[in-house]
C-alpha cells in the first residue's frame, strides 16, 4: 500500500512541523494517527473533543482539520515552551482552547459536558487517572491511544505498564476495543 497517511496534511501542519524541529521536540504522534484522528473527529458533528498532551500541536492540527464549524477541542499540556508553539498556530481559531496545566489535575476537576473523543497522548488519561478519563466519555464516544507497540528505547518497566493498561481496557465491560499493530500501536475504544 502507498503511504496514504502522509498526503493531504492539514494546511497549518508544515509550519508547526518546522517549529517542532527547531525546538527538537520528538514526541509528536505520526501522520497515520493524525489522519485517523481527523477521520474519527469528522464522524462527530458539533463534537466536543479533548487531547491530553498537546506537544507543539501536530496531532491537534489533524483534529482541528476534521472538525465541523460547531465542534470544539480542548488540548492540555504542562510545558509552556511547547504550548506556546501550538498557541501561535491556533491563535485565530476560537474553536480551540489550549490549556497549560497538569493533565491529571485538569481531568479530576473537569465538570463540563461529556466528550465525543479523547486522544490521551500523555501520562494522565493513560497511565494515571484512567478511570476518571473514561468517565468523561459519552456513550458512542472514542478513546484513542498510540505508542502501544513496544519500542527498543522504552525505559525499564514501561512494557509491563503498557501491558497492564491493555489488560485494564480489555477487562472493562463498557468499552468495545480494537488494537491495531499499525503506526506506533493504536488502541481505539468506543464507550458503550
- Give residues in contact with ligand SAM (CB under 6 A): 27-29, 51, 53-56, 58-59, 76-79, 82, 102-104, 121-124
Q: What's the closest the beta carbon of residue 166 comes to ligand SAM, in angstroms?
A: 18
Which residue's CB is nearer to ligand SAM, number 48 or number 78?
Answer: 78
Which residue's CB is nearer to ligand SAM, number 11 or number 173?
Answer: 11
Which residue's CB is nearer to ligand SAM, number 45 or number 150?
Answer: 150
* Residue whose beta carbon is closest to ligand SAM: 55
CB 55 within 8 A of CB 100: no
What is the maximum alpha-carbon separation in the chain?
44
125: left (phi over 0), alpha (psi -120 to 50) or beta: left
Give the closest residue to 53 by CA, choosing from 147, 115, 119, 140.
Answer: 119
Task: Please measure the distance between the N-terminal and C-terminal CA atoms of the chain and give it in whole angstroms.
Answer: 33
Q: What's the closest the beta carbon of residue 81 comes to ligand SAM, in angstroms?
A: 9
Amino acid at each position: 500500500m502507498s503511504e496514504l497517511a502522509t498526503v493531504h496534511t492539514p494546511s497549518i501542519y508544515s509550519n508547526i512541523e518546522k517549529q517542532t524541529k527547531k525546538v527538537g521536540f520528538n514526541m509528536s504522534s505520526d501522520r497515520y494517527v493524525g489522519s485517523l484522528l481527523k477521520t474519527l473527529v469528522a464522524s462527530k458533528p458539533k463534537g466536543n473533543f479533548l487531547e491530553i498532551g498537546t506537544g507543539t500541536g501536530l496531532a491537534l492540527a489533524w483534529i482541528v482539520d476534521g472538525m465541523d464549524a460547531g465542534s470544539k477541542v480542548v488540548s492540555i499540556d504542562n510545558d509552556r515552551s511547547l504550548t506556546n508553539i501550538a498557541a501561535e498556530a491556533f491563535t485565530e481559531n476560537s474553536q480551540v482552547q489550549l490549556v497549560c496545566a497538569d493533565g491529571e489535575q485538569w481531568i479530576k476537576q473537569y465538570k463540563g459536558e461529556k466528550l465525543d473523543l479523547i486522544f490521551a497522548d500523555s501520562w494522565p488519561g493513560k497511565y494515571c487517572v484512567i478511570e476518571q478519563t473514561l468517565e468523561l466519555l459519552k456513550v458512542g464516544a472514542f478513546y484513542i491511544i498510540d505508542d502501544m507497540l513496544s519500542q527498543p528505547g522504552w525505559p525499564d518497566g514501561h512494557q509491563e505498564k503498557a501491558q497492564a493498561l491493555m489488560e485494564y481496557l480489555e477487562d472493562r465491560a463498557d468499552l468495545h476495543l480494537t488494537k491495531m499493530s499499525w503506526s506506533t500501536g493504536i488502541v481505539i475504544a468506543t464507550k458503550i
